[in-house]
Chains A and B, each alone.
Chain A
Amino acid sequence: MTNLDDLKDAMAAPPDFAPRPIDLGTVMVAGGRVRRRRRLAVSAASGLAVAALLVGGAQFASRAAAPEPAQVAGQGEDPQPTSAQPTSTQPPNTKDESPRPATTSMGGVLGDIIHTGVDGWLLYTTSIDDPALPDTHFGVNVGLAAPNGQPVTVVTTNETTGSDRSPGFHAVQGTMEVETHITPTFGYYIGSAVRITATANGTGRTVNAHRATWSEDPSVVMFWFNPDVGSVRNLKAYGSDGQRLPAGRNGIGVG
């Protein structure tokens, strides 16, 4: 037996405690709450779509911009902070400019819906009111516009540890395949980030995120990566002077 086999045997041996029986009732109640939050976002977003049609006569789906590829810097290198402004990290049509029923919450959706310009993905925030998360008041969502123009939420994410407004990254969700759709890696940043980068796991290249400021609070910078970049790591944010900004919780969750 080799030493490595010893290690494997030791890890495979039962721990010196009996696994706690999981309270599946609690699990399903908590999981159901997450599901309902997503449904609420869907219905609220749908309501906003209808309201926009009534008020402005615009259609969500028709406003999607042509996809813009993420900016790619030197392979395998960290971004070189400069004083220059980032180039076109923000798609030309990132915000829904149609007349909207003000920036009020409509059953949970808060502020503008952002057309990412990438594979039809929409990005928007929804309100969160959960006693278990007293310092979390909103989450970010990606969804798709249905043929009738109504957005349908696919993934919702929110801060689960501490304040949702502390400086740095929050609630970053990794790319996933959901019913044949590849969702973008997305999340939000609190602070004046003019450039957000990550390292693509597949190529090792540094890629720039698309960004858009939340209409309700300019300190909230929502961002997303093109899904064709694949999974990413090593999120970084830069200010207008090229200096690194606080990372905050820059882990990338899945699921």
Chain B
Amino acid sequence: MARGDDEFVEFATASSARLQHVAYLLTGNRHEAEDAAQTALVRTYAAWQRIRRNDAYAYARTVLANLVTDQWRRPYREYATDELPDRPTPRDLADDVARRRWLIGALDTLSPRERAVIVLRHYLDLPEAEVARELSLSVGTVKSLNSRGLAKLRLEPDAPVPTPRRNQESGARR
């Protein structure tokens, strides 16, 4: 095995679980997450010679985010409504199972774009500019989606609540 391959194996072994975790938060589906993580690693390996000296994980993460969010990069419409979405299922953070259920249920209330921004911003702790770059969005859009997503999750009571909307994104939800 070539030296570069050894390095890739080491990288992939160390990062595959985290990539699957990110993909799971983005999709809410274990099997889709596994497939997305594997595809991201395939593309990372194909580009390994030119990225191995740089931040390979950032590259793999960008590929992963693009893979998942490609599903919502289609024409979509959002319609105003008078109702805010219902609060996610009741939270019981004392119990891990309940907390995980709450998490996925809460993320499922978000539009795909809001979900991607929330995961990249608050799980990966990426700055807004980096989230914008990875998702090919403007920083202003990232701020807006983040604010709206947190408002839906009722996590930021002081955040301004944008015009209530009901998401109807064609071909967006996985």
A interface residues (Cβ-Cβ under 8 A, vs B): 2-4, 6-17, 19-24, 26-28, 30-32, 34-35, 38, 174, 178-179, 199, 201, 204, 231-233, 247, 249-255
Contacts and interface: CB of A to CB of B under 8 A. Distances in A.
Given A204-B138, A251-B69, A7 B30 contact: no
B5 A10 contact: no
B74 interface: yes
A174 B136 contact: yes
A211 to B, nearest CB: 21
Interface stretch (B58-66, B77-85, B160-168): B58-66
B42 A30 contact: yes
A38 B9 CA distance: 22
A24 B156 contact: no
A233 B155 CA distance: 29
Nearest to B13: A24
B154 A3 contact: yes
B73 A252 contact: yes
Interface residues of B, number: 57
B21 A14 contact: yes
A27 B15 CA distance: 14
Contact of B96 (A7, A13, A22, A250): A13
A126 to B, nearest CB: 15
Nearest to B137: A233
Contacts of A254: 62-63, 66
Contacts of A6: 91, 93, 155
Nearest to A251: B73
A10 B99 contact: yes
Nearest to B8: A28
21 contacts: A3-B155, A3-B156, A7-B103, A7-B122, A7-B153, A8-B123, A10-B103, A11-B119, A13-B100, A19-B17, A24-B9, A27-B42, A28-B8, A28-B45, A34-B42, A231-B136, A233-B136, A233-B137, A233-B138, A249-B70, A249-B74
Given A22-B16, A24-B9, A178-B50, A251 B138 contact: no
A22 B150 CA distance: 33
B145 interface: no
A184 to B, nearest CB: 15
B156 A4 contact: yes
Contact of B38 (A16, A27, A251): A27
